Structure 1
Amino acid sequence: MIRVFLADDHVVLSRGLQLMLESTGEMTVVGTAGDGLEVLDAPALASCDVLILDLNLPRLSGSEVLRRLRERRPELPVIVLSMYAEDAVGLHLLRDGAAAYLSKHRPPEELIAAIHRVVRGRPYVPDTLAEQALSGPKSGPELPHAQLTPREHQVFVLLLQGRSASEVAAELDLHASTVSNNIRRIKEKLGARTIGDIVGYGHRHGLIH
């Protein structure tokens, strides 16, 4: 029996995932959490075989939960399940240590397949990300947000989620000046003048639904 921990702030979706996974007869949900800090503090996390993690969590983002878990429990496979398009953020998260990244638009059967694969110690890479990793962008130059460093990308995603600069600093445990420098570099790379421009960039490139 595969022991799954679910982290998603949408109770209905979390419950639906639990019913779907347990209906296979091969999996049991040993714990759930609705925010990032709750994930890290949950006793059930220590006994699970795989964590299914939403990116857009309150109090502590999924990307920061992933980063901290890579330090605390590097052996735990984490499947990031999010509304963000796979070709927008997937490669960044795989490089940051996720065992798999799937858009919530994917069919349930693919999530089940990903769980079986990652608990065997192998990453699960959807076709869209495999093609992107092998061939790069289909045409034209690399998109600006693909040029962000891992830390810049983490700040970028939090800004797209509506976090203020001070909230980003608190969530990532960074000095305000460090966040300001990251935001400045993000603006330079995206050709943005304000945080509103960064959010507008996210809308134009399908990073916000």
Structure 2
Amino acid sequence: MIRLLIADDHTVLRECLVAMLRASGDCVVVGEAGDGISAVEQALALQPDIAVIDISMPRLSGIDVVRRLTEELPRTKVLVLTMHEEDEYAVQVVRAGASGYLVKNTATNELLDAIRTIAAGGVYFGPYATKILASQLKHPQPEDPYGALSDREREVLHLVVDGLTIKEIANKLDISAKAAENRRSRVLAKLGVRNSAELVRYAVRKRLVD
């Protein structure tokens, strides 16, 4: 049996996906998560064969989840299942280490084929993602600077976007206000934005937040 973790913040969709996979005959859903942090925590605890991850989730984006699982659980493969059809997401997902990428209008049979292929050690990218990745190889684009942020810098970015002040960020992370300000400054510099307002606009534009 292929052991699966399903992470999606849309409860109805997640429950339908779980029911479909359980009826497949060769898949067992060992865990579910409704946000990125829970997805990482459950994956570390359950160590599934495959984690099926959405991109837009609260607390931690799906792309960051892929990075964490690739680094911390190399034996758990990741299949991204998302509604996003923008070119940049497929490229970011591959760079993060995912073994597959499908959009949510994919037929059930193709989703099961993808899971079985990945479980057997392969990779699976639907026609949409394959076209984008082929184009990227012919005409490579600069990597999104978000990928250059450290985990701590990404944490500060999300706290700033959530509206926390430097003092509140320092308290939450148990660091000095000066250290928190230094991290925020590094984030601004790496992303090429000038202040917190521009940082929020960047996060919204890149769909790093809901």
Give the alignment's TM-score, normalised by structure 1. Answer: 0.71
Q: Which runs of 4+ in 1 moved over 6 A?
A: none
1:186 paired with 2:208, answer no
Tell me how far apart the structure 1 counterparts of residues 80 and 28 of structure 2 sit (CA, whole Å).
18
User: 1:47 offset after TM fit, Å?
Assistant: 4.5
Structure 2: which 5+ residue stretches go unaligned? 174-178
- Indicate conservation of the 8 Å contact 1:86/1:103, yes or no: no
1:150 paired with 2:154, answer no
After superposition, what is the alpha-carbon deviation per residue over 1:72-127, rounded to whole angstroms, capped at 9, x for unaligned?
A: 21121011222222523111111111111222233333221211111111111222
Tell me how far apart the structure 2 counterparts of residues 165 and 183 of structure 1 sit (CA, whole Å).
15
- Indicate conservation of the 8 Å contact 1:80/1:98, yes or no: yes
User: 1:6 offset after TM fit, Å?
Assistant: 0.7
Tell me how far apart the structure 2 counterparts of residues 63 and 179 of structure 1 sit (CA, whole Å).
21
CA RMSD of aligned residues (A): 4.0
Tell me how far apart the structure 2 counterparts of residues 17 and 138 of structure 1 sit (CA, whole Å).
35
- Indicate conservation of the 8 Å contact 2:6/2:29, yes or no: yes
Tell me how far apart the structure 1 counterparts of residues 4 and 121 of structure 2 sit (CA, whole Å).
15
Tell me how far apart the structure 2 counterparts of residues 60 and 208 of structure 1 sit (CA, whole Å).
9
Aligned position for 1:62: 62
| CA shift in 2, pair 1:131/1:176, >3 Å | farther
User: 1:149 offset after TM fit, Å?
Assistant: 5.4
* Bigger radius of gyration: 2
- Indicate conservation of the 8 Å contact 2:54/2:82, yes or no: yes
User: 1:31 offset after TM fit, Å?
Assistant: 1.1
Give the alignment's TM-score, normalised by structure 2. Answer: 0.71
Tell me how far apart the structure 2 counterparts of residues 182 and 113 of structure 1 sit (CA, whole Å).
40
- Indicate conservation of the 8 Å contact 2:161/2:199, yes or no: no
User: 1:49 offset after TM fit, Å?
Assistant: 1.4
Aligned position for 2:108: 108
Aligned position for 2:24: 24
Aligned position for 1:40: 40
- Indicate conservation of the 8 Å contact 1:54/1:80, yes or no: yes
| CA shift in 2, pair 1:136/1:15, >3 Å | same
The count of aligned residue pairs is 195
User: 1:12 offset after TM fit, Å?
Assistant: 0.8
1:124 paired with 2:124, answer yes
Tell me how far apart the structure 2 counterparts of residues 127 and 208 of structure 1 sit (CA, whole Å).
27
Tell me how far apart the structure 2 counterparts of residues 132 and 113 of structure 1 sit (CA, whole Å).
20
What letter is aligned with 2:130?
A: A
User: 1:53 offset after TM fit, Å?
Assistant: 1.1
- Indicate conservation of the 8 Å contact 1:3/1:29, yes or no: yes
Aligned position for 1:71: 71
Structure 1: which 5+ residue stretches go unaligned? none
- Indicate conservation of the 8 Å contact 2:52/2:81, yes or no: yes
Tell me how far apart the structure 2 counterparts of residues 118 and 69 of structure 1 sit (CA, whole Å).
15
